[in-house]
Structure 1
Amino acid sequence: MKTLFKLAIILLSMMMLLPSTTHSIVVESNESYIKSATFLSEKFEVGPGKVAVKTLLDIDFPKGHIGVKSFDVEVVDEVGKSVPLYETYLHHWFAVKYIENITMSHYIKQSHDLRNGIEFERNEGLCQGFLLPHYWGSGGESRGTSSNLPDPFAVELGNPTKLKDGFKEKWLFSIMVIDTRGTHDRKGCSECRCKLLNLPNNFYNVTVGINGQLLPRNYKGGLFCCQDNLQCKLRNDFHGPTRNLSLRYKIRWVDWDEHRVPLRFYILDSTDRVRSNGSTPIHDCQAEYTIPRNHDSDSPHVKKANIPMTKGGYLVYGTAHMHTGVVNTTLYGQDGRVLCTSNSKYGTGKEAGNEKGYLVGMSVCYPKPGSIKIKDGEVLTLESIYENKFRTGAMGHFYIYLADQIPKKDLNI
């Protein structure tokens, strides 16, 4: 279990935090069958320069056999005010599904021991092991990226016929936030550049990377330098208070019925170094990468991966999870056709959701139902394009929802 969490959900601080939230279910007036609720996660503390990497278990979630239509998240302060990225940078949030043995629930809650009684259920994505396992997730671009799924499609959850006897379905948040108030280099701190953090003296002697080996000394920055409670270096004259923050999240859903069409969710990674073992592809995703300094070229930095899809389907939704500096990300079919391009949006002001110089949104593709089909076994190409400037912890994750079938009325046949 220890290795699982280090390599899959990456350096989580395993804390049992009890949800403390009030909410009401609202039936949306313009679409009477869609329900929505807004929840507030347990609080987590940050201070100037501090990194918070937390796992929030058993978060509030709609119950029953449902189809989720959207899942939106933002960081708020003690009074519910949206927190801008230049104060607390939301590096990422992931919503991960797990099932819990009912007979073990009390023991897990009291002991915080997760080695027994919990099984994680990942998405359909192709990365090795349990890397990038979440069903929903994003980062600083959360507020400006749509998660809405068009009708009649939804993510099916809570189907009692698919749940193991004696288990119940639950959800957790894996989050990383970085308080950049008073730091020497806000942008560098948000990229987790190792030299900007007060790392332990033995950091490179004890810190293990994605491949299970010790980090090399030339690891310049990224997820592994942003561990829970580490500190970005502050200006000498800066003093600021600690704050208790929360994730505020809104979920929209429908009760499942015969009119709903289920979707499969995939996360593709532009760092995926696909190899083969005979006829079996082996996916070796790195989750992040460094863009080196290049003073000799004005051309953008391009990262590509060729990814075979064992099972295809009709593309219903596509977007990307990226970091500041990205230009766009494109998913191509095997014949070179463009399946989806997700373009970046940058802020121009000071208000939360429009922070100047920060990535605040990624565009979303909604193809006409049935117009784009990925074949079984088709090799897709994922291309992530960033500005050609030194960056650490760059990411190129592409999210797609696929349907096995399209209702005949939407196929125009």
Structure 2
Amino acid sequence: MAMKTQIWCFLLLCSASVAVGARMIAQEGGSACKNLNVKTVTYLSPPLTAKPGEANNKYFTAEYPKGHIGIRSVNADLVDQNGIAIPLFENYLHHWILLEVAVAKDHPERHLHHMMHRMRRHHKHGMHMDATMIAALEAPHHNKVGRFPNGKVRNFLGKGGETRHTDSRLPLPYVKESGVELEGYENRWILNVHGLDTRGAVDHIGCSECRCHLYNTTTDEDGEPLPDGYIGGLRCCTDGRQCAVKEGFNGEEITFHLRYTWEYIDWNECLVPVTNLGIDVTNPTGFGENLIEFTVDGCGDADPNSEECLDTRVAYLNAPEGGEVVYSVSHLHSSILDASIWGEDGRLICRTTPLYGNGHEAGNEKDYVVGIKNCIGNPGAPDSMKIKQGERLKYIVVSTKVGGPHTGLMGLAGIQFVSDGVKSAI
């Protein structure tokens, strides 16, 4: 995308806090409170730059609303230096992640830097750990991917290329609680932006699926050989890697930002905190070593509508807590057709289907997932969807093999629910 002269005024305003506003929203849940004052604030990430085909996977200290708050939603998109949305076929937003962390007060900046370094470069049991991996997990399970000395992961938010048309708003008065201070710690937020420039790419979808041969990659970022059979995924599109572009393509270096908007409420007695539960389809029996990604083989000349051209994966997870579902959605990549969560008795808890674009403009990019349908619960009602503690949940993700192999795919389900303990206290 051709870039114009930088508009410094726009950047200075947005990087501080643009579009700060507030509005009164009528009560939407069972709370006795009639109105809740929902505030909005928008920030820009620090600038990122990319040449045609270049991968960015950067970590920053994030801007965020201060104090004890309830987060209703955060959503984001990639924009150029003039604030214009960038289409996925020019810079594919693999993911953005916001992590709330508590860092020890003795040297908070040093501890924060150390946490970001470990997220970016740490390996454990042959498994790459980054912000996407942490975001796949429910908060109580974070220690399963490694402990952070002098730091704790407390909250996470994020999406991928579907961010523009996936509604992340929780029905009020339910919110994510943030900003609660722990003794000896102070709260900060970390922002991870993974964008893949595909201007002039030999294979736009292949670059966005991080196929190793297109990035001319045979080793990970530590110089270690890739595992046998690993043909695409996060290890091949790390920061600074270059995807193949067409011979003679001369695109200029661009500057871009992640623009992210918070909707939040200053904490009060009307708000009800939700609990997070995450399921990763690459772990059939819960959380294991090979998290996050999977590859779907091709099906050649077979009928695209036949069973031969479908890939079905199933994962199970025993719910660590029980409660009533407030919100649920999945993070899904292109080539995935359907994702659903089922209870132990066979009841459907949530079906989240991807929305594919059919145009050539930002937010409606043909063949890309531009949104994902969510599910909104109705806690307190007779027909509310409930999860029992210890219940064995089943997560099913169905993908197409047409045009495969498809690499670096993700099927991550997130459920927000009000736990039984919280419910009994309100």
Specify the TM-score bucket, using the shorter chain as the normaliser.
0.7 to 0.9
Residue type at the aligned position of 1:262: P
Partner Cα distance (2:25, 2:362) in 1:
28
Q: CA deviation at 1:45?
A: 1.0
Identical columns (%): 32
Structure 1 Cα separation of the partners of residues 72 and 334 of structure 2: 27
CA contact under 8 A between 1:273 and 1:284: conserved in structure 2? no
Equivalent position of 1:195 in the other structure: 213
Q: Which residue of 1 aligns with 2:365?
A: 355
Q: Which residue of 2 aligns with 1:287?
A: 292
Structure-2 separation of matches of 1:205 and 1:142: 27
The corresponding residue for 1:176 is 194
**Alpha-carbon distance between aligned partners in 2 of 1:341 and 1:61, rounded to the nearest angstrom:** 31
- Equivalent in the alignment of 2:337: 327
Aligned CA-pair RMSD: 2.8
Determine which of 380, 393, 405 is the counterpart of 1:380. 393
Tell me the SS of whatever aligns to 1:103.
coil
> Secondary structure of 2:16's partner?
coil
- Tell me which of 76, 83, 86 is aligned to 1:73: 76
Match of 2:375 in 1: 365
Partner of 2:42: 38
Residue deviations 1:86-134 (CA, integer Å, cap 9, x gap): 100001111112112333135568xx55599x9x997436577238x76
Deviation, 1:22, is: 3.4
CA contact (8 A) 1:274 1:284 kept: no
What aligned pairs does 1:104-115 form with structure 2 within 5 A after superposition?
A: 104-105=107-108, 113=114
From 157, 175, 179, the equivalent of 1:154 is 175
Deviation string, structure 1 residues 332-390 (Cα, Å, up to 9, x no partner): 00111100000111111122111111110000101222411111110000001111232
Deviations 1:133-178 (A, max 9, x none): 7621110000010000001100011123xx122x210111122110
Aligned to 1:402: 417
CA offsets per residue over residues 23-50 of structure 1, 9 Å max, x none? 3531125556111101111111111000
For 1:392, the equivalent position in structure 2 comes to 407
Deviates more, 1:297-306 or 1:248-257: 297-306
Change in CA separation of 1:354 and 1:38 when aligned onto 2, cut-off 3 Å: same
Scaled by the length of structure 1, what TM-score is found? 0.83
Secondary structure of the residue aligned to 1:143 is helix
Letter in 2 for 1:198: N
Provide the TM-score with structure 2 as the length reference.
Answer: 0.80
My pick for the range that moved more, 264-273 or 230-239, is 264-273
Question: SS at the partner of 1:188?
Answer: helix
Equivalent-residue separation in structure 1 for 2:201 and 2:244 (angstroms): 6
Take 1:341 and 1:205, find their aligned partners in 2: how far apart are those partners?
37
8 Å Cα contact 2:57/2:193 also seen in 1: yes
What SS does the corresponding residue of 1:182 show, helix, strand or coil? coil
Match of 2:203 in 1: 185
Match runs of 1:101-250 below 5 Å: 101-105=104-108, 113=114, 123-124=138-139, 126=141, 129-130=144-145, 135-160=156-181, 163-165=182-184, 167-199=185-217, 203=219, 215-250=226-261
Native 8 Å contact 1:126 1:268 kept in 2: no
**CA deviations over 1:154-206 (Å, ceiling 9, x no partner):** 0011123xx122x2101111221100001100001100001111326xx2795
Count of residues in Structure 1 that have an aligned counterpart in Structure 2: 370
* Residue 266 in structure 1 maps to residue 277 in structure 2: yes
1:23 and 2:23 equivalent? no
CA contact (8 A) 1:128 1:283 kept: no
Give the corresponding residue for 1:9. Answer: none
The residue identity in structure 2 corresponding to 1:164 is E
Amino acid at match of 1:189: C
CA distance in 1, matches of 2:142, 2:264: 28
Provide closer, same or farther for how the CA distance between residues 268 and 114 of structure 1 changes in structure 2, counting only shifts above 3 A: closer
Alpha-carbon distance change, 150 to 114 in structure 1, aligned in 2, over 3 angstroms: closer
Q: Alpha-carbon deviations, 1:274-300, whole Å to 9, x = none?
A: 27xxxxxx6445201000122356222
Aligned counterparts of 1:318 and 1:115: Cα–Cα separation in 2: 28
Give the distance between the partners of 1:195 and 1:188, measured in 2 at CA: 9
Q: Which amino acid aligns with 1:39?
A: Y
Partner of residue 53, structure 2:
49
Conserved? CA contact 1:127–1:272, under 8 Å: no
Give the structure 2 partner of residue 61 of structure 1: 64
Match of 2:126 in 1: none
Letter in 2 for 1:367: G
1:318 is aligned to 2:328: yes
- What SS class does the counterpart of residue 34 from structure 1 fall into? strand
Unaligned runs of 5+ in 1: 1-18, 209-213, 276-281
Aligned 8 A contact 1:126 1:283 in 2: no
**2:315 aligns with one of 305, 314, 317:** 305
Query: Could you list the runs of 5+ residues in structure 2 that have no partner in the other structure?
Result: 1-13, 27-35, 120-133, 147-152
- Structure 2 CA distance, aligned partners of 1:25 and 1:311? 36
Indicate how the Cα distance of structure 1 residues 113 and 382 shifts in structure 2: closer, same or farther if over 3 A, else same: closer
Q: Structure 1's 318 and 108: CA in aligned 2 closer, same or farther, altered over 3 A?
A: closer
Note closer, same or farther for the CA distance 1:205–1:73 as it changes in structure 2 (3 Å cut): closer
Tell whether the 8 Å contact from 2:318 to 2:391 is kept in structure 1 after alignment. Answer: yes
Closer, same or farther: CA 317–226 of 1 in aligned 2, 3 Å:
same
Aligned equivalents of 1:376, 1:387: Cα separation in 2: 34
